[in-house]
Every structure is written in C-alpha cells, then in structure tokens.
C-alpha cells in the first residue's frame, strides 16, 4: 500500500519534472524570432542513463524501451488517461516528456548512431504529439516541443544529422506538422490561437526557417 508520504513525494517529483521540462522548452526557445542558429545541446551527456517514470492520477500509461546503457528517458504524467511511449536505440539519446492534464498522448522514437535530445511538455486535454528523430552522424539532432490547450496535434520527423527544431502551440484544435530531411536544418515554428491549420513544412538540407502563425481563436 502506498503511504500518503510516498504519494506526496511522487506528486512533487512529477510536478518538478513538468516544471523542469517546461523550463527546458522555454530555454531552448530563447531567441525565437531571430535567425535560427541554435546553440549546441548537451543534455544527453549531462543526464544519468536509465528510465525514470513518475505518474500521478488514474489510467495513465507509460512505456519505454532502450538498447544500450547510455540513453536517458524521463516521463512525468499528471491527470487521467495520459499515454507516453518512448523508444530509443543505443546512442546517447535523451528524452524528457511531461504531460499535465487528461487524455494526452505522446509517441517518441529516437534512432541512429549519433546523439538526439528531446524535451516535450503538453498541458491541457486531448493533445497528441508523434515525434521521430534519426541521427546518422556525430552532431546533435534536437527538438523542443510544447503544446498548451486542448485537442492540439503535432507531428515532427527529423531524418539526418544536426537538425534542430523548436515547435510551440498554444490554444485549442491546432494542427502542426514538420519534416526535416537531410542535415543542418533549423526550424523555429510557433502557433497561437485556435483552429490553426497544418502548414506541412518540409526542409531537405542546410535550411533555416522561422514561422509564426496566429489568430484570435474561435
């Protein structure tokens, strides 16, 4: 039987990871609106390897699979009916996923022989994020993703080396898809409002793009 003290400690740990992940997304997104020349990411080298899961609420599900001894996965979920699935291969990959609300879903796959880093935070209800990163070189591929609101959908694919993206959505019922293929791509994309459409962005190599989409909602 779980004691009240254990529940309190677990709740604090989950809240701390949610806050830390949101901070990481915000820090990664500093300089948004300027030329997308993102700084190096060192998270995979600074984190302990292994899988760390904290869940508060009911009917939450989390699964993670790692191959090797260098990858790090952190998952925190608060609410009901949230689902997180993370798969990482043997490279020094790092993933942190925090969900706060109900019926949120995230599916993350990181693969390749390089280094990938991802921080993701979803706050609200019914948000869906489907992320895939592949790395064939030594440079980092990284993504920072935040969804705030209800019923938002986000899908990111990065294929190649040294691709970085920071994507944010705030509002309800927004759709976003980004695909970066090749190497050395940078994407800074933010959406604020409700009912914003999928722009179907794709970059094939050495490209930099800033996108801001907004409306008054409704």
Residue 152: the pLDDT is 93
Task: Assign 3-class secondary structure to 131-190.
Answer: EEEEECCCCEEEEEEEEEEECCEEEEEEECCCCEEEEEEEEECCEEEEEEECCCCEEEEE
Confidence of residue 70 (pLDDT cuts 50, 70, 90): confident
**pLDDT tens string 168-193:** 899 999 999 999 888 888 888 889 99
Q: What is the pTM of this model?
A: 0.80
Decide if 218 contacts 197 (C-beta within 8 A): no
Question: What average pLDDT score do residues 96-124 get?
Answer: 87
Question: What average pLDDT score do residues 71-97 get?
Answer: 86
**pLDDT tens string 114-123:** 778 888 888 8
Residue 126: the pLDDT is 95
Residue 153: the pLDDT is 93
Whole-angstrom Cα distance, residue 204 to residue 184? Answer: 9
């Amino acid at each position: 039987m779980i004691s009240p003290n254990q529940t309190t400690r677990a709740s604090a740990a989950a809240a701390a990871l949610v806050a830390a992940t949101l901070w990481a997304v915000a820090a990664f997104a500093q300089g948004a609106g300027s030329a997308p020349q993102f700084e190096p990411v060192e998270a995979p080298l600074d984190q302990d390897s292994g899988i760390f899961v904290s869940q508060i609420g009911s009917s939450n599900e989390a699964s993670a699979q790692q191959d090797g001894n260098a990858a790090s996965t952190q998952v925190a979920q608060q609410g009901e009916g949230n689902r997180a699935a993370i798969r990482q291969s043997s490279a020094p990959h790092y993933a942190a996923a925090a969900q706060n609300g109900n019926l949120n879903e995230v599916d993350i796959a990181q693969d390749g022989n390089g280094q990938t880093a991802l921080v993701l935070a979803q706050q609200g209800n019914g948000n869906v994020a489907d992320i895939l990163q592949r790395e064939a070189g030594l440079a980092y591929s990284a993504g920072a993703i935040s969804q705030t609101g209800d019923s938002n959908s986000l899908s990111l694919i990065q294929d190649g080396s040294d691709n970085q993206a920071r994507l944010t959505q705030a509002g309800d019922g927004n759709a976003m898809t980004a695909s970066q293929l090749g190497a050395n791509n940078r994407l800074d994309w933010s959406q604020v409002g409700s009912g914003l459409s999928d722009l179907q962005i794709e970059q094939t190599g050495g490209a930099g793009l800033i996108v801001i989409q907004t409306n008054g909602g409704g």
